Amino acid sequence: MRQTKLTKAARGRECQVRIPRVCNGNPETTVLAHYRMAGTCGVGTKPNDLQGAWACSACHDACDGRRSDIGRAEARQYHAEGVMRTQAQLLREGLVSA
């Protein structure tokens, strides 16, 4: 997988998904977790990196359905909020512009 400016920017960051009782709070495990939504991705195609949230490994597992201790709808809500928090931080740092 090709590393973009935005996927690289996730390294060492605080998790922005922040699922209670799930988040491990370890910035060493943070990656850009893409929010999948009909019309923005497909089989073998990831969404645009702007639709990604900085997520620790535990929150990323929950967002991708690899955990059974949180419901899918709840995980998607936290993931969407994480995308918005990530976008706000990228804007503040000038890594993207409006």
Active-site annotation, residues: 34
HSE value, Cβ hemisphere, 13 Å, CA-based, for 47:
15
Q: Which residues contact 7 (CB under 8 A, 6 or more apart)?
A: 31, 32, 49, 52
| Chain centre distance of CA 17 | 7
Residue 60: count other Cβ atoms within 10 Å of its Cβ: 23
